[in-house]
Amino acid sequence: MTVESTNEASESKRAAALASLVAATAITLLKLVTGVLTGSLGMFSEAAHSGIDLVASGVTLLAVRASDRPADDDHNYGHGKVENLSAAFEILLMLGSCGWIAYEAVSRLRHPDHLHLAFSPWPFVVLGCSIAVDLTRSRALHKAAKEHQSEALEADAIHFGTDIWSASAVMLGLACSYIGQRFGIAALDFADPIAALIVAGIILFVTLRLARITIDSLTDATPLEVRQQRHRDIVRELERITDVLSVERLRVRRSGPKYFVDMTLGLPRNLTFQRAEQVTLAARYAVQQFLPDADVVVSTLAAVASSESVFDRVRAVAARANLSIHDVTVQQIDGSLHVEQHLEVPETMTLREAHDVASRLEADIRHDVPEVRSLLTHIESEPSTIDEAASGPPAAALERNFLKVAREFRDIIDVHEIRVTRSHGGAAHGLQISCHCTLPDGMAMDRVHAVITDLEAAFRHDHPDVTRVFIHPEPATDNCHEEPVAISLSADPR
């Protein structure tokens, strides 16, 4: 959400709260004056109810202003809980009014001599206006609350919606009392205090409903709108993401209008860091489809995928120990598996240290992959120095001889970008040669590997001083090297 849209939402919420405050003030004064003129307990109860609405509207306006403040160092999750505190204050006021109204109603029922009412049309006029105003502001508050996900405005909307029913109960009670006095029906004299009890019951019902919502918010309970079906929908959408093996945990809390989601996903343990980042971004997007603008934190757990091969499991054990292995081969001998692998260690490490590392790795592999009965680890040093380019007649002679050997292989179309370097920066460590080798596009990879392996072996047979031959195979359609660096096999090397 942009800063401009956030400011617009804040202004809209404040305008709705301010309009509710103005309406509550006018209605409270009208009901109070009418109650004094008529002596109706029902009107006094309505005036008290509207007085609570007035205080609640004022607190809501202040809470909305405070809750819109951005997060800071002292409130990392923002100030949304202020709305819940204002609702808690409103609950206390409503419980107090319930007790007072119920007490007065019971007192009048016990002492019928205080039940005489002075007939006046004004209570009906005032209550009719109150119902119209409450209907209008309840709809306006509900619309603003739904649009901006404001818990304080939604509580006010529910509260004022029930005012319509309570005002209707008072009107009915007044009408029955007047009819009883006019026609001498004594039983109807109790209609006004009974109506007051109905109003107290409605206030209590709303109070308990608000209390549940407020307590849930203050205790970080899962929001009602996220429970059950939507929670299942979110989990189902997360499980549809490629490479998500499981949803281990999904927790949702709400602070004001903003949702905070904390989840833990099980991902394949051989997943690359970059792919894991892509999965977490997709998970955030999936959650925000159901909870727009939610603050989503994704944690991941390394999990074993059912599709893992023995090779994957062996590499996963090495990766867990932060070790680099390559050229892993697996053979089946007498019903059990034999693994051979190349382990890279720093070139400054001693043989004793390197052997200990290899032994621990082999033990871990046997533990995690019990099918493996035997292992053979080739330990090799991982160079940390930069090789120097070799030049002069020796390098040129090696290039010519390499082309001569390559010409004996019919499958090889072209060899180019031949480079000769000195291994580990010194002649005592031998020479290395690398090149690009062009082969037919449709050649199978096992045949490609065989060709470049045979080429390496043939060249090193004639040049044992070359410690390493690195050949990069490429298809003929990708052979787009520049002519000055290309050396065709059909050309005369001399």
Instruction: Examine the pLDDT at 491 and tell me if it is beyond 70.
Output: no
* pLDDT (0 to 100) of residue 2: 44
Q: Give the pLDDT mean for 311-317.
A: 90
More confident residue, 4 or 183: 183
Task: Please tell me if the domain spanning 3-219 has the same topology as the one spanning 225-303.
Answer: no
Give the pLDDT score at 191.
73
Q: How confident is the model at residue 343 (pLDDT cuts 50, 70, 90)?
A: very high
pLDDT > 90? residue 405:
yes
Contact assessment for residue 299 and residue 250, using Cβ atoms and an 8 Å cutoff = no
- 145: pLDDT strictly greater than 90: no
Query: Is the predicted pLDDT of residue 286 greater than 80, yes or no?
Result: yes
Fold of 310-382: Alpha-Beta Plaits (3.30.70)
DSSP string covering 322-379: T-EEEEEEEEEETTEEEEEEEEEEETTS-HHHHHHHHHHHHHHHHHH-TTEEEEEEEE
Please tell me the predicted confidence (pLDDT) of residue 45. Answer: 66
Other beta carbons less than 10 A from residue 321's beta carbon: 12
Q: What is the mean pLDDT of residues 228-233?
A: 84
pLDDT digits 0-9 by tens, 75-114: 767 766 777 777 777 778 778 777 877 887 787 777 665 5
Structure tokens at 74: 């002292």
pLDDT at 453 over 90: yes
The model's confidence at residue 403, banded by pLDDT at 50, 70 and 90, is very high
Tell the CATH topology of 3-219: Alpha-lytic protease prodomain-like (1.20.1510)
Give the mean pLDDT of the chain.
78
User: What is the pLDDT averaged over residues 351-374?
Assistant: 91
pLDDT of residue 362: 92
Tokens (6 digits) for 466: 């070359």
Architecture of domain 388-487: 2-Layer Sandwich (3.30)
CATH fold of 225-303 reads Alpha-Beta Plaits (3.30.70)
CB count within 10 Å of CB 242 equals 8
Sequence ranges of the domains in the chain: 3-219, 225-303, 310-382, 388-487
Cα–chain-centroid distance for residue 107? 56
Residue 255 has pLDDT above 50, yes or no: yes
pLDDT reported for residue 132 = 82
Q: How confident is the model at residue 449 (pLDDT cuts 50, 70, 90)?
A: very high
pLDDT of residue 151: 65
User: 3-class SS at 108?
Assistant: helix
Identify the residue with better confidence: 66 or 272.
272
Q: How far apart are CA 239 and CA 222, in angstroms?
A: 20
Q: What is the mean pLDDT of residues 165-189?
A: 72
State pLDDT tens for residues 316-333. Answer: 899 889 999 988 999 888
Question: Which residues, 6 or more positions from 237, have their beta carbon under 8 angstroms from its beta carbon?
Answer: 286, 287, 289, 290
| Higher-pLDDT residue of 478, 150 | 478
Predicted structure pTM score: 0.56
pLDDT confidence of residue 247: 93
